[in-house]
């Protein structure tokens, strides 16, 4: 995969929280500018996948029986697509979180963990843009948002916790195994169909129900739908496993990253 263009660092690194935050924000802005600079649609590309797939799934729903209750299917699918796209964008961009910034790593010593975190910041910007799609659909269908939406920050926090651990593992693995860059897109597509993005969790066959419950994305997607569309608290039988997996992923990813970050420069 292509490396990011050289990022100009104007200040020498100091061991301060302020400098670290500034660098993470600069890296995030740099990544966003690099992705959309000189493109015709700019941020419009963020909408392309969720809008296109939502439209496709809306057609599929016309020829199949996908129960969504009183929730408009386009809104039902869009909530799943935005949650999935946030995860997918971050996972795919994490591949070069470290290997794409060798020009910085070889010039100054800085905590390497800031690179996957900076990718997360840029992904959060993408999430904010994609949220406009949901706002538009809520307005179009005159669909009210319940007070249970106050659960959103807690769900998003656990979701981000999971993504940080995942991003650390992906970016670290890509340094040691270059095949990761080729494998991630294929693995993401397989993972996509294993998640209740365009169908409800209730449609998962009994034989796969236990395995599906331990898919953290099932917990996140169904929780977002519950608090935004159904006026209910996050389903504990799905969110519970998602929290446990997220904590384990975060601890494992950050710990392993910290243990091996000293070897990264020599391997790049």
Instruction: Place 27 in a pLDDT band, splitting at 50, 70 and 90.
Output: confident
| Average pLDDT for the chain | 81
The pLDDT value recorded for residue 11 is 47
Cα distance from N-terminal residue to C-terminal residue, the chain: 14
- Is residue 155 within 8 A of residue 223, CB to CB? The reply is yes
Across 25-34, 58-67, 117-126, 226-235, least confident range: 58-67
Tokens, residue 163: 């993504």
Mean pLDDT computed over 181-189: 88
pLDDT at 163: 96
Residue 12: per-residue pLDDT: 46
Asked if the model's pLDDT at residue 227 lies above 70, the reply is: yes
Q: Identify the weakest region by mean pLDDT among 31-45, 80-94, 169-183, 191-205.
A: 31-45
Rama region for 204: left / alpha / beta (φ>0; ψ in -120 to 50; rest): beta
**Helices marked H in the chain:** 17-36, 44-63, 73-94, 102-105, 114-140, 152-176, 180-193, 206-213, 216-225, 236-260, 264-267
In this prediction, residue 10 carries a pLDDT of: 46
At residue 48, the pLDDT reads 65
Q: Which tokens hold the place of 34?
A: 């690099």
Distance CA 226, CA 25 (A): 32
Percent of the chain having pLDDT more than 70?
Answer: 74
Output the pLDDT for position 30: 67
| Residue spans per domain, the chain | 17-267
As given in the structure block, the two tokens for residue 5 are 């263009």
Distance from C-alpha of 195 to C-alpha of 191, rounded to nearest angstrom: 6
If one compares 164 and 12, the residue with the highest pLDDT of the two is 164
Residue 40, pLDDT > 60, answer: no
Residue 141 CB: number of other CB atoms within 10 A?
12
pTM for the complete prediction? 0.82
Q: Which residues contact 192 (CB under 8 A, 6 or more apart)?
A: 84, 88
Say what the pLDDT of residue 22 is.
74
Q: Using CA atoms, how far apart are residues 212 and 232, in angstroms rounded to an integer?
A: 21
pLDDT at res. 230: 94
pLDDT value at position 159? 97
Examine the pLDDT at 9 and tell me if it is beyond 50. Answer: no
Per-residue confidence (pLDDT) for residue 62, from 0 to 100: 61
Lowest pLDDT segment from 115-119, 160-164, 187-191: 115-119
- Distances in whole angstroms, Cα of residue 147 to Cα of each of 63, 174, 230: 34, 42, 10
CB atoms within 10 A of CB 58: 16
Residue bearing the bigger pLDDT, 40 or 240? 240
CA dihedral 108, 113, 116, 118 (to 10 degrees): -70
pLDDT for the residue numbered 57: 63
Chain centre to alpha carbon of residue 149: 20
**Residue 78: other Cβ atoms inside 10 A:** 24
């Amino acid at each position: 995969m292509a490396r990011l263009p050289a990022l100009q660092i104007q200040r020498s690194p100091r061991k301060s929280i302020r400098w670290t935050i500034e660098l993470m924000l600069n890296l995030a802005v740099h990544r966003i500018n690099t992705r959309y600079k000189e493109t015709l649609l700019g941020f419009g590309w963020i909408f392309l996948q969720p809008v296109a797939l939502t439209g496709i799934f809306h057609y599929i729903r016309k020829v199949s029986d996908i129960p969504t209750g009183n929730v408009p299917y386009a809104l039902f699918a869009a909530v799943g697509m935005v949650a999935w796209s946030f995860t997918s964008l971050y996972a795919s961009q994490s591949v070069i979180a470290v290997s794409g910034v060798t020009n910085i790593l070889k010039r100054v010593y800085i905590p390497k963990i800031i690179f996957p975190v900076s990718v997360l910041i840029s992904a959060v910007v993408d999430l904010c843009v994609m949220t406009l799609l949901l706002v538009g659909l809520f307005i179009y269908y005159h669909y009210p948002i319940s007070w249970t939406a106050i659960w959103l920050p807690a769900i998003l926090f656990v979701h981000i916790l999971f993504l940080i651990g995942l991003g650390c593992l992906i970016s670290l693995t890509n340094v040691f195994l270059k095949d990761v860059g080729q494998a991630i897109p294929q693995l993401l597509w397989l993972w996509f169909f294993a998640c209740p993005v365009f169908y409800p969790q209730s449609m998962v066959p009994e034989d796969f129900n236990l395995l599906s419950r331990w898919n953290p994305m099932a917990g996140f997607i169904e929780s977002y739908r519950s608090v935004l569309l159904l006026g209910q608290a996050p389903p504990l039988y799905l969110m519970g496993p998602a929290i446990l997996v997220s904590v384990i992923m975060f601890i494992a990813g950050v710990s392993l990253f910290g243990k091996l970050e000293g070897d990264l420069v020599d391997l790049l």
